[in-house]
Amino acid sequence: MAVQVLIPTPLQKFTNNEASVELEAGSVAALVEALEGRFPGIRARLCDDSGKLRRFLNIYVNSEDIRFLDNETTSLSDGDEVSIVPAVAGG
Protein backbone atom coordinates (compact mmCIF):
# COMPACT_ATOMS: atom_id res chain seq x y z
CA MET A 1 0.00 0.00 0.00
CA ALA A 2 1.50 3.30 -1.11
CA VAL A 3 1.63 6.18 1.33
CA GLN A 4 2.83 9.73 0.78
CA VAL A 5 5.52 10.91 3.22
CA LEU A 6 6.10 14.62 3.73
CA ILE A 7 9.76 15.21 4.57
CA PRO A 8 10.71 18.30 6.62
CA THR A 9 13.39 20.60 5.21
CA PRO A 10 16.13 19.57 7.70
CA LEU A 11 15.80 15.92 6.60
CA GLN A 12 15.61 16.56 2.87
CA LYS A 13 19.40 16.32 2.56
CA PHE A 14 18.90 12.61 3.30
CA THR A 15 16.17 12.22 0.66
CA ASN A 16 18.03 13.77 -2.29
CA ASN A 17 16.22 17.05 -1.58
CA GLU A 18 12.81 15.46 -2.09
CA ALA A 19 10.09 17.12 0.01
CA SER A 20 7.66 14.27 -0.56
CA VAL A 21 8.21 10.59 -1.27
CA GLU A 22 5.88 7.69 -1.93
CA LEU A 23 6.62 4.39 -0.22
CA GLU A 24 4.98 1.05 0.50
CA ALA A 25 4.42 0.37 4.20
CA GLY A 26 1.70 -1.12 6.41
CA SER A 27 2.71 0.63 9.63
CA VAL A 28 4.75 3.57 10.84
CA ALA A 29 7.56 1.21 11.93
CA ALA A 30 7.58 -0.38 8.47
CA LEU A 31 7.64 3.09 6.95
CA VAL A 32 10.81 3.96 8.87
CA GLU A 33 12.39 0.77 7.50
CA ALA A 34 11.22 1.62 3.97
CA LEU A 35 12.71 5.10 4.30
CA GLU A 36 16.00 3.60 5.47
CA GLY A 37 15.98 1.15 2.56
CA ARG A 38 15.53 3.92 0.03
CA PHE A 39 17.60 6.57 1.83
CA PRO A 40 20.32 4.87 3.89
CA GLY A 41 21.21 6.83 7.03
CA ILE A 42 17.84 8.51 7.58
CA ARG A 43 16.82 6.07 10.33
CA ALA A 44 19.55 7.47 12.60
CA ARG A 45 17.87 10.87 12.32
CA LEU A 46 14.42 9.44 13.05
CA CYS A 47 15.22 6.88 15.77
CA ASP A 48 17.34 6.85 18.92
CA ASP A 49 19.94 4.20 19.80
CA SER A 50 17.24 1.86 21.09
CA GLY A 51 15.32 2.04 17.80
CA LYS A 52 12.43 4.15 19.13
CA LEU A 53 11.28 7.27 17.31
CA ARG A 54 13.06 10.33 18.67
CA ARG A 55 11.09 12.40 21.16
CA PHE A 56 11.60 15.65 19.25
CA LEU A 57 9.87 14.27 16.15
CA ASN A 58 6.13 14.37 15.73
CA ILE A 59 4.63 11.93 13.24
CA TYR A 60 1.14 12.47 11.87
CA VAL A 61 -0.96 10.08 9.80
CA ASN A 62 -3.67 12.01 7.98
CA SER A 63 -3.25 14.87 10.49
CA GLU A 64 -3.59 12.53 13.50
CA ASP A 65 -0.67 12.44 15.93
CA ILE A 66 0.51 8.82 16.23
CA ARG A 67 0.99 9.32 19.99
CA PHE A 68 -2.81 9.33 20.22
CA LEU A 69 -3.11 6.34 17.90
CA ASP A 70 -0.83 3.29 18.21
CA ASN A 71 2.58 5.00 18.04
CA GLU A 72 5.00 3.06 15.80
CA THR A 73 2.47 0.26 15.30
CA THR A 74 -0.09 2.67 13.81
CA SER A 75 -1.47 1.03 10.67
CA LEU A 76 -1.14 2.71 7.30
CA SER A 77 -3.53 2.33 4.38
CA ASP A 78 -3.16 3.00 0.70
CA GLY A 79 -3.32 6.73 0.08
CA ASP A 80 -2.47 7.81 3.63
CA GLU A 81 -0.37 10.91 4.13
CA VAL A 82 2.37 10.77 6.76
CA SER A 83 3.97 13.99 7.97
CA ILE A 84 7.27 14.08 9.83
CA VAL A 85 7.37 17.29 11.87
CA PRO A 86 10.37 18.26 13.99
CA ALA A 87 9.33 19.70 17.36
CA VAL A 88 10.02 23.40 17.76
CA ALA A 89 11.17 24.81 21.07
CA GLY A 90 12.35 28.18 22.13
CA GLY A 91 12.15 30.75 24.74
List pLDDT tens digits, range 2-60: 999 999 999 999 999 999 999 999 999 999 999 999 999 999 999 999 999 999 999 99
Give the span between the Cα atoms of 60 and 6, in whole angstroms.
10
Model-level pTM? Answer: 0.91
- What is the reported pLDDT for 88? 79
Give the span between the Cα atoms of 13 and 29, in whole angstroms.
21
Domains by residue range for the chain, with CATH = 2-86 (3.10.20.30)
Partner residues linked to 47 by β-bridges: 53
* CA angle in degrees (0–180, nearest 5) for 54-50-72: 55
Give the span between the Cα atoms of 79 and 90, in whole angstroms.
35
Q: For residue 82, is pLDDT > 80?
A: yes
Mean pLDDT of the residues in the chain:
94
The number of angstroms, rounded, from the C-alpha of 91 to the middle of its chain's C-alpha atoms is 27
Q: For residue 1, is pLDDT > 70?
A: no
Q: For residue 89, is pLDDT > 80?
A: no
